[in-house]
Homo-oligomer: A and B are copies of this chain.
Amino acid sequence: MSHGDETTIDADEPLDVGMLGYRFMGKAHSNALARLPMFFPDAPEVRRHTLIGRDEDALAEAADRFGFERTSTDWREVVDEVDAFYNLGPNHLHVEPSKAALEAGTHVLCEKPLAPTLEGAGELRDAAAASDAVAGCAFNYRFVPAIRYAKRLIDDGSLGEIRHVSGRYYQDWLSDPEAPWAWRMDEELAGSGALGDVGAHTLDLIGFLVNDHTGGIERLSGHLTTFTEERPVPGGDERRPVTVDDAYSAQAEFENGAMGTFEASRVAEGHKNDHSIGIHGTDGSIRFSLERMNELEVMAGDARGYETVLVTDESDPYVEAWWPPGHVLGWEHTFVHENYEFLTAVAEGGEFSPSFGEAYEVQRLLDAVQRSDESGEWVEV
């Protein structure tokens, strides 16, 4: 559809999506867009309009595979040509294009973390506040049915007052010191390492689940470590320095007095994508592990132990759209749910959560961890 600087959407026309990035996240979001019509028929119709990247050959191939009509090597040409701009580039490319899109009145879905720095994240938050467009940050784990179900339990008081919150995200792809250098290991390009890459997921998810009940994290103490100081650049003899953390830990105090402990690592041998959450209240507890994402462990009411709930019933969040009970979903389904919510917000002029404002709050936590690590002191958030 043609598109001006207003955010009004013509309901008879499909939404045009421009997408920056065509690797891991590009594939995940393209797949989500492709799957919506069959499973969420009330989702707005979408045209995969333009795929944006630098390498023309790879881009052309990706566009063909992901179902995009056009390609572009310059996001500037795209951000005001489409209805929604998906910013799936490396972290250092989050700020400028997303801001430009918002200023053009184009809706934005930006990958996490919102920016490499708190300053950049602030710019985006402000740009979103100044725009009528929907500005969402793609913390996809909010869209796991089991997480939504956990939120229901917490919100209805099943856990009582929250006292302990923990989150650990273990991966091992950098366990080998000879694993190659990549942009995710560079402070300029990524902002931080395990902290911003996967720790951001933890901190967002925790906020999503308990902020309404705890008042959020008030102060924290953080710790960053880099085990391997430099890594080989693929295709040559060069070794480049690793300027971000391989792992972080943090302890926190919430406004209501609840305690939090957080940790992530890229060198935790034997763990591929092991994101675990635990929340303990005066009346109950829940545990979640991403590698068993269809399950939620629930201890509440008169229970004497954790109940392993397979969150695949029709009545569970998002599940009705898919398969009968016990027919499990996968990681990619979180993107379908996320895109459904984002596009619906775009089409109906509604809100999308997590917004840039919420993502900025996550960034404040990332920044606080870094500041605390530098000062060796607890910092107020």
Contact = CB atoms under 8 A, between A and B. Distances in A.
Interface string A204-242: 000000000000000001010101000000000000000
A293 interface: yes
Contact of A225 (B37, B223, B253, B284): B253
Interface residues of A, number: 85
B272 A259 contact: no
A331 B323 contact: yes
A250 B253 contact: no
Interface in A160-210: 160, 163-164, 166, 170-171, 173, 175, 177
Interface string A28-59: 10110011011101000000000000000000
Given A291-B326, A310-B304, A330-B328, A259 B65 contact: no
A257 interface: yes
Number of copies: 4
Contacts of A323: 24, 28, 331-332
A269 B284 contact: yes
29 contacts: A24-B323, A24-B324, A34-B35, A38-B66, A159-B269, A163-B227, A166-B263, A170-B280, A173-B324, A173-B325, A177-B282, A221-B223, A221-B251, A225-B257, A265-B280, A267-B282, A268-B285, A269-B280, A270-B280, A270-B299, A270-B303, A272-B312, A291-B294, A291-B326, A304-B307, A305-B307, A306-B308, A322-B332, A330-B330
A126 interface: no
Contacts of A251: 221, 223, 249-251
Contacts of A312: 272
Given A163-B265, A225-B259, A377-B378, 12 more contacts: A31-B35, A38-B65, A175-B282, A223-B259, A270-B299, A273-B327, A291-B294, A292-B292, A304-B309, A327-B332, A328-B331, A329-B330
A310 B376 contact: no
Contacts of A322: 332
A132 interface: no
A281 interface: yes
A333 interface: yes
Contacts of A27: 38
A274 interface: yes
